Amino acid sequence: MDFKAQTGLLGLTKDELRALCKELKLPAFKGDILFGWLQQGVVDYNAMTNLSRKDREQLAALYPLSLPQVIKEQVSKDGTTAKLLLDYGADNYDNPQRVQIELVIMLYNRRESRSRHTLCISTQAGCAMGCAFCATGLSGLHRNLTAGEIVAQVLTGKLWLNRHGLGEVTNLVYMGMGEPFANYQQVMQSLRIINHPDGLNLGQRRVTVSTCGLVPEIKRFADEAAEFGLAISLHAPNDELRSRLMPINRRYGLADLMAACDYYTAKTNRRISYEYALLQGVNDGKEQAQALAELLGGKLAHVNLIPVNFVEETGFLPSPAETLNEFAAILNSRGIETTVREKRGSDIDGACGQLRRNHNR
Ligand code: SAH
Ligand code: SF4
């Protein structure tokens, strides 16, 4: 078998690494040392110089380690977005399809403040949710990523930024390929790891998870007693249209979804971001803006309007700027805080909904 990323240890929390060391008859503090190295993106045991040679050899024999390979790298013309194609290798001979995902890095260099670099993280290879406008769903779900594979992705992004002299990852959005809440446990485990102060230390308020609306998991997420941000892919203000665009709405309708959102807000007191991609002539009318204002009125909400990104196979067109501005104006006039998401990275198909795992089109 050729290359296969070995990310198992990256999926363990600091406490779990301590426990593992104890099992190996090593002092627990060596788990702390290991966690420190791993979370800096060091996966070569030889470089872990404050572990003895014997420890390093034992660990290397039991737990081989490697990050995914970056097999393609693109930077948008305006220099604001990079997209890396990551290859984790194939799982085994019986399942020879390679696990490949796209990692998007959004670079913000505001002169007046320090730079902000946001990674857009994938949680599944493919997606089973089948939203009508999205490229990721087109070829279905290959498989869930493990927590180790998700953390390896963050580390790959971190090393890329470091290598280009751009500093550190400051923010994460779980808005890449896949539905995070369809892979709940591994996603939650990855969040705990990247949040740890002795590791990447990405604060909960700097991490946002986006879902198409899996109601039980939204509630579970609210119950985690954490402050990770939540974004909801809404895209329609009524059940009839939403069910047409997003099959998940046939399982959990808008009333259930909004109740789960209220529960999250009550538990966390955090504002939810609602993503709304404007599809020309489909969901961008004035009456739909009014209906959306009705739906979100009185809630701790922020609407992100996105001109839909072009995906050849879906046939949807982005609404013209005028329509977009009118839509935003209606929401703002009704007291719903709204921003028009700046379009970035579309020349490298690195924008929302353009990520796919099949590159041999
Ligand atoms: N599965 C999760 C997270 C990944 S999708 C979710 O659906 O929320 C990330 C975001 O891109 C979602 O808000 C999704 O609705 C949006 N999106 C999908 N296809 C798009 C497209 N063609 N143009 C603009 N946004 C799109
Ligand atoms: Fe999956 Fe999100 Fe795309 Fe829907 S929008 S198909 S949930 S990745």
The enclosing domain of 49 has a CATH number of: 1.10.150.530
Please identify, among 62, 82, 100, the residue that sits at the C-terminal boundary of a domain: 62
Same domain, 109 and 153: yes
CATH classification at residue 172: 3.20.20.70
Cα distance between residue 212 and residue 182, in whole Å? 10
317 and 280 Cβ atoms separated by less than 8 Å:
yes
Rounded Cα–Cα distance for residues 20 and 27 (Å): 10
* Domain total in the chain: 2
pLDDT at site 349: 65
pLDDT digits (tens, 9 = 90+) for 121-131: 999 999 999 99
Spatial separation of the C-alpha atoms in residues 87 and 102, rounded to whole Å:
9
Nearest ligand 1 atom, CA 311: 22
The residue among 15, 33, 62 that closes a domain is: 62
Are both 37 and 84 inside the same structural domain? no
Task: Give me the pLDDT at residue 356, please.
Answer: 64
In this prediction, residue 109 carries a pLDDT of 64
Cα separation of 157 and 118, whole Å? 9
- Give the pLDDT band (50/70/90) at residue 344: low
> How confident is the model at residue 355, as a pLDDT?
62
**Predicted local distance difference test score (pLDDT) of residue 360:** 41
Q: Which residues share a beta bridge with 337?
A: 302
Give the pLDDT confidence score for residue 136 in this predicted structure.
87
Residue having the nearest C-alpha atom to atom 4 of ligand 2: 131
73 has catalytic annotation: no
Instruction: Name which of 77, 162, 150 is nearest 115 in CA terms.
Output: 162
| Whether residue 156 sits in one domain with residue 94 | yes
Of the candidates 13, 25, 89, the one whose C-alpha atom is nearest the C-alpha of residue 59 is 25
Q: Is 209 in the pocket of ligand 2 (CB under 6 A)?
A: no
Query: Kind of pairing, strands 95-108 and 116-120?
Result: antiparallel
CB-based contacts of 326, cutoff 8 Å, min separation 6: 286, 289
Backbone angles phi, psi at 274, to 5 degrees: -105, 125
How large is the average pLDDT for residues 261-278?
A: 96
Same domain for 271 and 249: yes
Structure confidence by residue, pLDDT tens digits, 317-336: 999 999 999 999 999 999 99
pLDDT of residue 3: 85
- Percent of the chain past pLDDT 70, that is, above it, reads 93
Asked if residues 86 and 69 have their Cβ atoms less than 8 Å apart, the reply is yes
Work out the average pLDDT over 243-258: 98
Q: Single out the residue of 210, 240, 239, 238 nearest to residue 134, CA to CA.
A: 210
Name the burial class of residue 297, with classes exposed (0-12), middle (13-18) and buried (19+) by CB atoms within 10 angstroms of its CB.
Answer: exposed
Full residue range of the structural domain in which residue 101 is found: 69-359
pTM for the full model? 0.94
Q: Are residues 198 and 273 in the same domain?
A: yes
In this prediction, residue 112 carries a pLDDT of: 43
What are the backbone dihedrals phi and psi of residue 304, each rounded to the nearest 5 degrees, phi first?
-105, 110
Q: At 151, which helix (H) or strand (E)?
A: helix 147-163
Examine the domain organization and report whether 38 and 167 are in the same domain. no
Nearest CA owner, ligand 1 atom 7: 212
Give the lowest-confidence range in 47-51, 115-119, 216-220: 115-119
* 143 & 182 share domain: yes
Average pLDDT along the chain: 92
Residue 37 sits in the same domain as residue 110:
no
- 2-6, 10-14, 310-314, 322-326: which has the minimum mean pLDDT? 310-314
CA–CA distance, 260 with 23 (Å, rounded to integer): 41
Ligand 2 pocket test, pick from 136, 218, 276, 308 with the greatest ligand atom count within 8 Å of Cβ, gives 136
pLDDT score recorded for residue 351: 61
Please identify which of the residues 102, 149, 179, 275 carries the catalytic annotation: 102
Q: Enter the tokens of residue 354.
A: 């353009």
Nearest Cα residue to atom 8 of ligand 2:
178
Out of 40, 62, 84, a domain closes at 62
261 in active site: no
Considering the domain architecture, whether residues 51 and 193 belong to the same structural domain is answered as no
pLDDT reported for residue 277? 95
Does one domain contain both 51 and 91?
no
CA 136 to ligand 1 centroid distance, Å: 9
**pLDDT grade for 343, boundaries at 50, 70 and 90:** low
- Output the DSSP codes for 81-147: EEEEEEEEEEEETTEEEEEEEEEEEEEE--SSS--EEEEE---EEE-SS--TT-SGGGG-EEEEPPH
Distance CA 64, CA 7 (A): 8
Q: Are residues 52 and 166 in the same domain?
A: no
Q: Rounded mean pLDDT of 36-60?
A: 96
pLDDT band at 252 (very low <50, low <70, confident <90, very high): very high
Give the tens place of pLDDT for each residue, 188-224.
999 999 999 999 999 999 999 999 999 999 999 999 9
The answer, yes or no, to whether residue 111 has pLDDT greater than 60, is no
Is the pLDDT confidence value at 82 over 90?
A: yes
Say yes or no: 47 and 97 in one domain. no
